[in-house]
Amino acid sequence: MIENRLILLRKTIREKNTVVTKNILNNHTISICVVCGTDKDLTKEHVIPKWAFGNDQKKFFTTNINNISQSYSQAVLPTCGNCNSYILGAFEHYLESLFAKTDLNSDFFSTKEKEKIILWLESIDYKFQALNLRRKFKKMRDGKYIPYLSDIPIGVMQNESPSKVFSNFRNALKKLGIKSKAESLNSLVIFKTTNESFHFFHKTNEFIFIELPKQKIALFYFITLKFDDEKIASETAMRKIKEAY
Ligand SMILES: [Zn+2]
């Protein structure tokens, strides 16, 4: 079943990605589905799924650009009912049960499963980029309100060049239309964790880290870097995690 839904996801993205990104880049806060571009039957899609952060209203992430916190429960994007539940919902359901049934003490993910985990992490990267285009800088926490900066999207302030931000965004969506993740398999580092709380950090186009306490699994994914040797990927990931905490 999940294969059919993912075929539909890829087909939708291949057909619609140009018009979706064009519309969003013309108007960052436009009310259209961030997957297929329709403006009908819009619902809210969580950037990080509820099951991952335990649906805790108080769990938040802090944006390094202005130090302002936002809760995961309010980090949502418009998606149509069909993309939200029939496609992305089914995919989330698949992943949640995949993580629940895989005990890393005795078991590991197959190549096909790893490719799906990569697709999932890439979809979070895309959603975060879309979210950061919608969110305005406003002001630094404890800082002064600066009118000419306040309206600039967080996503644009994160990069020295707006055109780079926009091309990252286009590429992030395009990637979701590609089936094989064979070249990126070594870029995914999976390890056991005993941490009790959900952790997440993300750097657009660079890496994404998710720690799932319930499933006792942590995932680190290099979004663009490729590795010949998975040991080097794993060492680099550990270094990045240490830097972030
Ligand atoms: Zn849609």
CB 63 within 8 A of CB 71: no
Element holding 84 (H helix, E strand): none
Ligand 1 centroid vs 9 CA: distance in angstroms? 10
Strands (E), the chain: 42-46, 60-62, 69-71, 76-80, 188-192, 199-203, 207-212, 217-222
Buried b (16+ CB within 10 A) or exposed e, 61-88: bebebbebeeebbebbbbbbebbbeebb
What's the domain range around 37? 2-179
Residue 214 lies in a domain: no
Residue 190 lies in a domain: no
- Digit-by-digit pLDDT tens for the chain (245 residues) are 899 999 999 999 999 999 999 999 999 999 999 999 999 999 999 999 999 988 787 888 877 777 778 888 889 999 999 999 999 999 999 999 999 999 888 889 999 999 999 999 999 999 999 999 998 777 777 777 777 777 788 888 777 788 999 999 999 999 999 999 999 999 999 999 998 888 898 888 899 999 999 899 999 999 999 999 999 999 999 999 998 87
Ligand 1 centroid vs 47 CA: distance in angstroms? 15
CB 139 within 8 A of CB 145: yes
Residue 20 lies in a domain: yes
Residue type, 192: K
139 φψ region: left (φ > 0), alpha (ψ -120 to 50), beta (else): beta
Ligand 1 centroid vs 83 CA: distance in angstroms? 4
Residue 48 lies in a domain: yes
Total structural domains in the chain? 1
Q: In this predicted structure, what is the pLDDT of residue 152?
A: 80
Per-state percent for the chain, helix, strand, coil, to nearest 5:
50, 15, 35
Residue 205 lies in a domain: no
Residue 153 lies in a domain: yes
Ligand 1 centroid vs 18 CA: distance in angstroms? 14
Ligand 1 centroid vs 178 CA: distance in angstroms? 18
Ligand 1 centroid vs 68 CA: distance in angstroms? 30
Element holding 240 (H helix, E strand): helix 230-244
Residues within 5 Å of ion ligand 1, judged at the Cβ atom: 33, 35-36, 80, 83
Residue 17 lies in a domain: yes
Residue 242 lies in a domain: no
Q: In this predicted structure, what is the pLDDT of residue 225?
A: 96
Q: In this predicted structure, what is the pLDDT of residue 151?
A: 78
- Burial class from Cβ neighbours inside 10 Å (0-12, 13-18, 19+) for residue 126 reads buried
Identify the three-state secondary structure at position 54: coil
Cα separation, 195 vs 174, whole angstroms: 34
Show the tokens assigned to 137: 């800088």
Q: In this predicted structure, what is the pLDDT of residue 15?
A: 98
Listed residue (173, 181, 237) closest to 210, CA to CA: 237
Cα separation, 43 vs 79, whole angstroms: 5
